Amino acid sequence: MSRYIGNTTDDREQMLNEIGYKDIDSLFKAVPDSIRLKEELKIPEALSEMELIKNIKSLSDKNLNTDEYVCFMGAGAYDHYIPSAIDQLIMRQEFYTAYTPYQPEISQGTLQAIFEYQTMISELTGLPVSNASMYDGATALTEACIMSCEATRRNEVLISSAVHPESRQTLNTYAKFRNITVKEISYKNGQLNLDELNSKINKDTAAVIMQNPNFFGIIEDVEAIAEITHKNKSLLILSADPISLSILKSPGEMGADIAVGEGQPLGNALNFGGPYLGFMAVTDKLMRKMPGRIVGQTTDKEGRRGFVLTLQTREQHIRREKATSNICSNQALNALQATMYLTFMGKEGLEKAARLCLNKSHYAYNELIKTNKFKPLFTAPFFKEFAVISEKPISELNEKLLKSNITGGYNIENDYPELKKAYLIAVTEKRTKEEIDALVRKAGE
């Protein structure tokens, strides 16, 4: 019997005997013979643990990792530092081998962690109600859009073209099936074009969707956008970089009704794109319209504080076809990782990390411009990521950097064909002056 099976061959015989069956096959008699698999599945024969590790390690070794190749790639996934305690704590089986906390008496660990997560997301976003997390930033943004349409009973949304392309693509997929009209607002000097917003917003507009800092790394004038949005009784959905929220004004304070974002920068590894977590926080008014699991505080019979899943009537297992969303899973373990990250970094550490990102990205920007091989793409303020125009084609540039063990930036032209040779570079707190200088030297050659 395979190593992950509890019974021995003898156990099986004995159990079958006790319940009156002659063999295992007779338990499967409901499966018609014509669809019983007659041959073995054509997959590789089982490997021992040693062989398995060797096999998988060989695949891992084929990938160039960020320890060996200095990463200046961002564009929605960032190489931030992860405190070493997190990797060990997240391995506690009580967290990772548990399921959804349906039985609160034996799930207080997960429930309390989510409650703490919700509190921290509320603090960062300046909005009072956070859910327990969603699949990722793109789906959180999409769910926010669907929620806005339900809440306003309108069916059109305006989205800034400076929102992450993958978020826009995801939204477009959902919207197409849900019959939601999505219209884009172009950018002007890298920021959302306010004139265009003014001319496109109308009584059908459920929400205006923007990102801050946006895909180009630029800080937007959120308050001006909020004003236009609210005058029209539309909702403002703001996708934010959580690290930036320790120094930038919070979405809530600037008038966002819904804040969402990619939570990966909060202590989650790059992992080739996932698993990450999407965060979402809303105003009190939208509390009962919000998708996803929510944890609330209450007491037991003895008056002790405890936590439970609450406001469940919004969810699919109760509302079925009338649910606000089909979401069932959250990204609990990733949200826990984010909670740990925000705990270890704390009030001061997060701000310091953000300041390092700001300083280092500006240093890299200034040095690159000095080489005369790069020109500014926009002049608006940025946080940890910036866009420049390269003299050389981006693919050629990145190829060259790779030879010096550097993973270069993102080719903006892939998504914005009008921005020829535009290059997006992310500089986190992990990048040293030496690494930045090496990038500048090679790129400036």
Query: Which three-class secondary structure state does DSSP give residue 303?
Result: coil
Burial 314-342 (b: 16+ CB within 10 A, else e): bbbeeeeeebbbebeebbbbbbbbbbbbb
Q: Which residues of 135-147 are buried (b: 16+ CB within 10 A; e: fewer)?
A: bbbbbbbbbbbbb
The CA-CA-CA angle for residues 124, 338, 82, to 5°, reads: 115
Residue 403 carries which side chain, given as an amino acid letter? K
Query: Omega before 251 cis (within 30°)?
Result: no
CA angle (266, 364, 245) in 5-degree steps: 30
Calculate the CA 397 to chain-centre distance: 28
Q: Least Å distance between CB 233 and other proteins?
A: 13
Task: Supply the minimum distance, in Å, between the C-beta of residue 326 and other proteins.
Answer: 4
Minimum separation from the CB atom of position 143 to other proteins (A): 10
User: Considering the complex, what minimum distance in angstroms separates the CB of residue 429 from other proteins?
Assistant: 6
Interatomic CA distance for residues 416 and 424, integer angstroms: 12
Comparison of 172 and 199: residue with beta carbon closer to other proteins: 172
Q: In the complex with other proteins, which residue's Cβ is closer, 21 or 199?
A: 21
In the complex with other proteins, the residue whose CB is nearer, 25 or 199, is: 25
C-beta closer to other proteins: residue 35 or 418 = 35
Q: How far is the CB of 223 from other proteins (least distance, A)?
A: 7
Minimum distance from residue 101 beta carbon to other proteins (Å): 7
> CB-wise, 119 or 199, nearer to other proteins?
119
Q: How far is the CB of 244 from other proteins (least distance, A)?
A: 10
CB-nearer residue toward other proteins: 56 or 199: 56
* Residue 112 buriedness (CB in 10 A; 0-12 / 13-18 / 19+): middle
Q: Which two tokens stand for residue 274?
A: 């996932």
69 or 183: whose CB is closer to other proteins?
69
> Minimum Å distance from CB 154 to other proteins?
15
Toward other proteins, which CB reaches closer, 169 or 199? 169
Q: Which residues of 52-80 are buried (b: 16+ CB within 10 A; e: fewer)?
A: eeeeeeeeeeeeeeeeebbbbbbbbbbbb
Q: Classify residue 264 as exposed, middle or buried by CB count within 10 Å of its CB (0-12, 13-18, 19+).
A: buried
- Per DSSP, the three-state class of 47 is coil
